[in-house]
Structure formats: C-alpha cells, structure tokens
Structure 1
C-alpha cells in the first residue's frame, strides 16, 4: 500500500503491530529493513522512491510526500515510533502534535548509520527508554538516554527478548503480566532455550523474579505471573503457568534440509510443519534452513525462507563432509559431492552435537532438526 500524503488529509493507517519504524533516506531504508527482520512487532514505512518490489509480501507500507504528514496518524495508532531521521528534524515535526506524557507514544531516533539510538519522547511512561536499549543492543549502537533517573530497571514484558528475535505466542496476557512486573509481584522466569543475556542492567535481578529451567519446577511454587521462554509446545498439564503468563518463542530451531530439484514450496512447508508437530516444536522458533550450496537457488527453499523470514545458510560439500554422520551415502556423494546434506548442515549451523531428529525422508524432502544450545 502507498500513502499519498497531503495537507489536511490524514492517511488511513493499516496497523499490524505495536511499533512503527520509519525511514526516509536510502541508507535509512537499508538499515530499517535489516532491523525489521530481527526486531519483531514493527510495521515498516518508507518512501516509495526506495521501493524494492517485495513490500506487499512483507507488509511494508510506502508513502509519497512529507513524512511530517504521516506522523499524526502514527501517534494515534502506535505504542512506540522508531524514526531513522535526524534528531533536529524529528523535534520540529513532532512539536505541534504533542499532548502529554501519559498519552504520547514513545519516540526513538536512530542516526542514518545506526551508530546512536536516542530516546526522544515518553522515556518512562511511553517506554522509549527501554525501547532505546533494546534497539541499541540489537544494532550494536550507543543508547542515548537523558532522563535524570531511569527508574524502571526491570523487564519490559512486551520487549522482552526482541533484540534476539523472540516472538510472543500470544499478546493476551501482556498487560496483566506487565502490571505484575511493575508492581514487583512474584514473577517466574522459565527459560528452556534461547539466549541467556537478556538482563543488561548494572544490578542483580530484582528479588521478586525467580528463574527456573523447567516449567514443571516453576509450577511447584506460587507466583503471580510468569515469563516462559521455550521452543516446545506446552503439554496440557503445563498450560497452568500461562494463566497469567506470556510465552516467548526464541529463534533456536535449525532445519537441515535436502530436496530434489524442483520440489514445490508447498511440499517443503508441509514436511516442515508435519515434522515440527511430531517433535512438539513451535514453527515460531525456527531460525532458518541449512543446506548444501547446490541448493542456493532452489525456488522452493527460497520461497519458504522468504515466507517465514528465515535465514538460508548454504555449505560447501567439503564443509559438510567434515562432520561425522551416522549414515553416509555414496549415492548422495555421487550427485552432490557430500556424503550427507540435512544432518551435517543442521549440526554445522546450530553448533549442536546431537540432533532432535537425525534424518527423515518424506517424498522429495529430507529433513533433520537441531536446537541451538544455550548461548
């Protein structure tokens, strides 16, 4: 969709997420597209003259005219706005539309090279300070926060793990769980997989948080809320922890794959979903597909990773052959130069010593599944 921005005409914004990401320069667009891939929950807007051709597929919204005319609508519809625009220009553009710190969204500015992330507006109540820290951590940039005291120093429930690409399973309990965190109630943090470096404050984790490695263990204690990080589908007896809890999906599953030339994307995707269901894993936790470099132009694989916004990693035959596998195949070697594809590719990409699924052949597809070890 392209918005034609005109004076006195407010564009009918089509929102999908809580955060808007806006760019108006060539370099800013490149940075914004990369940021959107890993910082989930953002709607991306940029100028039509930088159109790439895949905007409709990725729900990227284009506009023509001054970005100043877009901002009033963004202020009404989003919890936070990330602008890759100069700070001075942003200050001038938002000044006429500011109301008060209780209702204005958090506004964050990033410079064109992605070196600084600046909290501009609604640092505490609007969450701009936490948003600044999360985005800066993701970009490897310097966060700039100028409020006298950053009083929260806790876990922002809606931003938890976003810099690692974690996704919520559901937003239903975000508000009550956030209330429990802010009010310093008893909160369980259950982490079965994913990155460990989510606590970045220069003080210990507050005493109202208790960490567990298994849901079963957490359920043996009384808590007011829970943050659960796992790639698994919960069993019925475990669902109780989500009574007032948020389930996060870390990007930890690597799919090693091989397929016959010309295998349609629909068949590949069906095998993936069937396999994950058999293992009890969530497709939201898939990080990407790993395969042999002969498949780097395989249309079915390319369509699949594009659909789910996954990585596609391709290894040379000699890299795959350096990994010991259980069932080396002379037939596979004859056609590819590698004694196996899915199994060694999954291990190489994930760094896992053992696989959740060593190898399964289904129709034209061979699949192996690995879970990235704790980082």
Structure 2
C-alpha cells in the first residue's frame, strides 16, 4: 500500500505501528544511522543509498510514501521528482511523536488525504488538511473523479471548476446516460441542459459546452476476426467503431471475443498495445446473451454461434447493456460496441 521510512529510533517504532495498520504490503525502511543493524527487526530494511535516490525510485515505480519525521526532510527528498498533482505519487508526513499527519503530495487524485486520515484515526493523530475545497467543506471534483474511476480529459478544467466553487459556491453537473447515487452536495446542481460546468459522458463533448469533461470507462468493443489478421487490421476497425459511436476512446474499458480467438496473435497484440482488458467467452455463453443480434450462418458453422462481435460486447457488459454500434465488417475483421450500465456516487 505504501513504503514507510523513518530517521530515528522513536520514528522507527511509529513506522512499525503504522505498518500494523496498513498491512504487510507496506514495508518499513529506516535511515537511523545510530542503530545497530544486527538489532533491527528482520522485516525492517536499512536504506544505504541516498534518500533522494531511494525516493526517486519510488516515484518511478509509483509507490506511495510515508515519511516519519520533519516535513523538511520529505520536501527535500521529493522536490526533484515533483511534476503535477495528476502524476505525483501520494506522499504523507507523520511527525515522530505521532501528533500530526500531513498529506504532502497528491492529496486528492493520488489519495494522500485518505491515507493520512486513515493513519491519523489509527494512531490518534490530527490530520492536517490544507486543500481549499476541503477546508471550505466544498465538493472536490478531482476526488469525485478518482473515486468513480472517471477520466479527466482536460486537467486544467479541475482548476476551473474548483475556482468557480470557491468563488461562486455552486456548479452545474450533467450525467449523460448514467445513474446518480449517494447524497448530492448542496453546491452541485444537477442539470440536463446541453451545457454544464461538469459533464460526465462516454460520448465526445464540445469543449465549449463545459469546463470539465469526465469520461466513465463503460464501453466494450466486441471483435471477431479471421485467422491471421494483424493488429493494424483490428485497430482500424476498432477506431472505426469508436468513431461511429461518437465515443471518447478513453471510455473503452476493454475488448471481448469468442474463446477460440483467445490466442489470435494480432488480437492479443492489439489489446496489449491499447492497454485494454480482454475477455473471451465460449460459444454457448455468447449464444445465451439476451437481445437481438445480426446473424451469419457461416459464422455459426465456423465457431458455433451466429454472431461474435455484438454478442461479445454485450456479454462483457453484463446483464444490462446497450448496443451503441452494431456489427461492422471489413477485411476479415468484425467489430461492435456496447455500453454497460454505469453510475456515479457522491
């Protein structure tokens, strides 16, 4: 969950206590030079290298960090690595007495605030929260996006939305096609109008219609192909179905096909290059998907079900789905697109 590092004997004891809270997946490190290495608990790792080098590797591996010590130590260690709130790792600082717990970097997007609060509650510390929306008890759109797995297309939009909340104490928000769950903050006004400050939609949205477009990962593309089709052949059809559906590419959660195509080299290469999840289904499962689909006697004779791409896209979505783009075909590749049932929670 996080790497914990301390610099004194007292800090090491607190680090071990925090590890007990976070679990075994949070290793404890120390740079306490006065300690006898032979007396270290066997699950505590002594850091020989420079702190800046050790920290830099955590940033590269995107491992959250907890510093037990002064803020200045943490600041100097992370300073060469800091880029922006969307790519920085979560960094939390806890003083060695366990009095204060400070989310130093990536409080919202990375979850450092949540981590700091968790630690503070467990050890009886005070979480020191300084983010503007938090101290003003306002809706934090970046936290909302992260918790709902929404892609932020224009990161500057987060600043614009937060600024409007801080200045005007109200924003409008539109959810296009999904359900709304939870308690809506009083400063968020839900609208169905074309324009809104925040639009949540898998579809393409005109930049002039919102300050921030959040994209739910709620779309699956079903693919069928003849043997030997290349990843480029499949990608062309994938791009075509995305275009016809007027869907943001980042809304595509994964690809799906029939199990006999699971090891098709071009298909495997395509999903790997596009970093998509990949599901396969037996012909019997595809044949039992409820709904109306196009059918081919040749396909049924070949693989045991009359349609692969539409049924695979629907199967990946689960019981509730909507076909956005029915089967299209070219050069031995078929593709279709389906939207799963999705929601956001406040």
Q: TM-score, normalised by structure 2?
A: 0.65
Instruction: Name the CA shift for 1:92/1:151 in 2 (closer, same or farther; >3 Å).
Output: closer
2:73 equivalent in structure 1: 96
For the residue of structure 2 that corresponds to 1:160, the secondary structure is helix
Indicate conservation of the 8 Å contact 1:256/1:290, yes or no.
yes
Residue 334 (str. 1) matches residue 291 (str. 2): no
Instruction: Write the deviation string for residues 91-139 of structure 1: whole angstroms up to 9, x where unpaired.
Output: 259652447xxxx986249xxxxxxxxx95336xx56267438977xxx
Residue 170 (str. 1) matches residue 148 (str. 2): no
- In structure 1, runs of 5+ residues without a counterpart are 1-25, 30-63, 110-118, 137-141, 220-225
Cα distance between partner residues in 1 of 2:146 and 2:55: 26
Counterpart among 43, 53, 66 of residue 70 in structure 1: 53
Counterpart among 323, 343, 346 of residue 313 in structure 2: 346
- Count residues with an aligned counterpart: 272
Cα distance between partner residues in 1 of 2:167 and 2:50: 38
Indicate conservation of the 8 Å contact 1:164/1:195, yes or no.
no
Indicate conservation of the 8 Å contact 1:192/1:230, yes or no.
yes
In the TM superposition, residue 308 of structure 1 has moved relative to its aligned partner by: 2.5
Once the two structures are superposed, the pairs formed by residues 134-173 of structure 1 within 5 Å of their partners are 143-145=118-120, 146-147=126-127, 151-173=135-157
Cα distance between partner residues in 2 of 1:144 and 1:195: 33
In the TM superposition, residue 316 of structure 1 has moved relative to its aligned partner by: 1.0
- In structure 2, runs of 5+ residues without a counterpart are 1-23, 28-46, 77-81, 83-87, 94-99, 121-125
In the TM superposition, residue 186 of structure 1 has moved relative to its aligned partner by: 2.5
Once the two structures are superposed, the pairs formed by residues 91-130 of structure 1 within 5 Å of their partners are 91-92=68-69, 96-98=73-75, 107-108=91-92, 120-122=101-103, 128=107
Once the two structures are superposed, the pairs formed by residues 52-71 of structure 1 within 5 Å of their partners are 66=49, 68-70=51-53
In the TM superposition, residue 353 of structure 1 has moved relative to its aligned partner by: 4.4
In the TM superposition, residue 232 of structure 1 has moved relative to its aligned partner by: 1.0
Cα distance between partner residues in 1 of 2:151 and 2:223: 24
Higher helix share: 2
Structure with greater Cα Rg: 2
For the residue of structure 2 that corresponds to 1:173, the secondary structure is helix
Q: TM-score, normalised by structure 1?
A: 0.61
Instruction: Name the CA shift for 1:65/1:263 in 2 (closer, same or farther; >3 Å).
Output: farther
Instruction: Name the CA shift for 1:153/1:74 in 2 (closer, same or farther; >3 Å).
Output: farther
